[in-house]
Amino acid sequence: MKTIRIMSYNIGWLQGEGSEGVNFKKKSLLHFKSGISSVARTIIDNKIDLACLQEIDFDADKSHNIDQFQELKNKTNYFGEKLISWNIPYLPFPYFNHWKKVVSGGAILSRKKIKAISQHLFDAPTNMFFLKRLFYLKRYVQIIKIKFKGKNEYVFNLHLEAFDFNAKQEQLIFLQTLIKEFQPIAVCGDFNTLPQ
């Protein structure tokens, strides 16, 4: 492999509008199956070597309990590594149409074999209301190793804090230490922050 084509994509569990709860309307099983096919086609048609995905469901009531990771692996015939960052039996959100079981997180799909090196999960922000903290997803950094040009290289897939400035800052500082340690060829994901 002379070059490596990397895609980073927050798929919002393939819901589309309402993925964050606002204006949420339950979508059909066909909607999610169609979304999986569309993402798989995007990966294959663009000859993507590594696809770093965020907000992917592994088993969630809100997306008809489909393992989106396994479905994408099957459709692309890629290798993959996943990270579970949210695993709760019941989520009292959105307020008038609760999601039940949620198992989701991040995933990396690859044409070539990859190896999971480490997973770093961040706790919910400490100043968050305790009931919200109980149900809040964990932000993360996922690190994999891939052979590229005969060398072991590292790639990061991450989803950092969106709402709490102090937690976001702490996560970015920790990310800097990981970058210094692993010297990755790519840091992908949803930074939930401005470039500066």
Asked if 103 and 57 count as a contact pair (C-beta separation under 8 A), the reply is yes
The pTM assigned to this predicted structure is 0.94
- CA gap 82, 77 in Å, rounded: 15
Strand duo 6-10 + 114-122: pairing: unpaired
Task: Give the model's confidence band at 1: pLDDT under 50 very low, under 70 low, under 90 confident, else very high.
Answer: low
Backbone φ and ψ of 84, nearest 5°: -90, 120
pLDDT in the model for residue 170: 95
pLDDT in the model for residue 195: 67
pLDDT of 27-45, one tens digit each?
999 999 999 999 999 999 9
Residue 196 pLDDT exceeds 80: no
Give, to the nearest 10 degrees, the angle between helix 68-76 and helix 29-45: 40
pLDDT of 94-141, one tens digit each?
777 788 999 999 999 999 999 999 999 999 999 989 888 989 999 999
Instruction: Summarize the confidence of residues 147-154 as an average pLDDT.
Output: 92
pLDDT > 90: what percent of the chain?
A: 80
Instruction: Summarize the confidence of residues 74-79 as an average pLDDT.
Output: 98
- CA gap 153, 65 in Å, rounded: 34
pLDDT in the model for residue 98: 85
- CA gap 12, 23 in Å, rounded: 14
pLDDT in the model for residue 55: 97
